[in-house]
Amino acid sequence: MSNQNDNGYVNSEYLNKLGAVLENVKRTTYQRMRVMEGSRVLDVGCGPGTDTIPLAKLVGSWGRVAGIDTDAAMIEQANSRAIQNGVSGWCEHRVAESDALPFDDESFDAVRAERLFQHLQNPEPTLREMLRVTRAGGYICVLDTDYASASIAIDEHELERRFTRAVLEHSVKNGYAAREMPLLFQQHELDEIDLEIVPVVYADYAMARELGRWNEIERIALELNLLNEQEIQHLRASCERADAQGGFLLHVNMVMVAGRKG
């Protein structure tokens, strides 16, 4: 079963596996948002509750955590997980669009979005909504993947560049979204802007294939005539050689931007 549909949206199994890899950087976003006991927090694009559940444990019953996602199945899973973890009394999940959040103005102390903007052709409406529902003095944090920074250390250099370009321009709606966020934060007059570049490294070829969604990327590259079957086989062989020699390396940067609403 594929982890991804044609729009780059992935299933909950994939999100849970990636969430385990990104656990430390996720917790850093909580720190950037100044989440503490009693905080009111919103996760935009919450998926199956990967972050809302640990956030609910951080804020405790005096706080409030909400998550929204467009996928009803994800929301159902998230609400079930909230019940299983004993936090459903102050942790809710709703089906909603990110550019039309179903919350009043200034409802939250902190709002986050992780790996969401890569799926949005136009990030402005969603960022405006995140700002609207954040109280004055509250914090917004966005974490996303800068697909233009993707690199694979193999000897098929020209093919590797074509493959990573397919990832950047065709595997998601907006592969450049992450690098645009610092400027958007400035344009929307957020204060105390904090920028951090987070490298994600895979030294295991099998894991890189799975979490990098390589089967899907190869399919896209073939359909768009960016690579042919022989070239894909050359890429695979090069990766397998590097992996067998203990020298396989894939890395990509994530961009974390946080700021305070004035």
Question: Is residue 78 in some structural domain?
Answer: yes
Report the number of distinct structural domains present in the chain.
1
Radius of gyration of the chain from its Cα atoms, rounded to whole angstroms: 19
Residue 6 is predicted with a pLDDT of 42
pLDDT of amino acid 99 = 97
Q: Are 164 and 218 in contact (CB under 8 A)?
A: no
Q: Is 186 part of a structural domain of the chain?
A: yes
Contact 44, 101 (CB under 8 A): yes
Quick check: is 7 in a domain?
no
- The shares of helix, strand and coil residues in the chain, as percent rounded to the nearest 5, are 40, 25, 30
pLDDT at 183: 96
Which pLDDT score, from 0 to 100, does residue 210 have? 87
Q: Tokens at residue 50, please?
A: 């990967």
**Which CATH number characterizes residue 66's domain?**
3.40.50.150
159 with 221: CB under 8 angstroms?
A: no
| Three-state DSSP class for residue 112 | strand
Is residue 4 domain-resident?
A: no
Q: Which of 60, 58, 42, 26 is nearest to 103 (CA)?
A: 42
Give how far Cα 98 sits from Cα of 41, 94, 112, 239, Å: 15, 11, 11, 38
In a domain, 32, yes or no: yes
pLDDT for residue 1: 24
> Is 2 inside a domain boundary?
no
pTM: 0.89
Distance CA 55, CA 64 (A): 9
Give the whole-angstrom CA distance, residue 236 versus residue 242. 10
Domain with 44 in it: 12-260
Cα–Cα distance between 115 and 172 in angstroms, integer? 11
Note whether residue 1 is domain-resident: no
**What is the chain's pLDDT, residue by residue, as a tens digit (262 residues)?**
233 344 445 555 655 566 566 788 999 999 999 999 999 999 999 999 999 999 999 999 999 999 999 999 999 999 999 999 999 999 999 999 999 999 999 999 999 999 999 999 999 999 999 999 999 999 999 999 999 999 999 888 999 999 999 999 998 999 999 999 999 999 999 999 999 999 999 999 998 998 888 999 999 999 999 999 999 999 999 999 999 999 999 999 999 999 999 9
Residue 5 lies in a domain: no
Q: Which two tokens stand for residue 73?
A: 């199945």
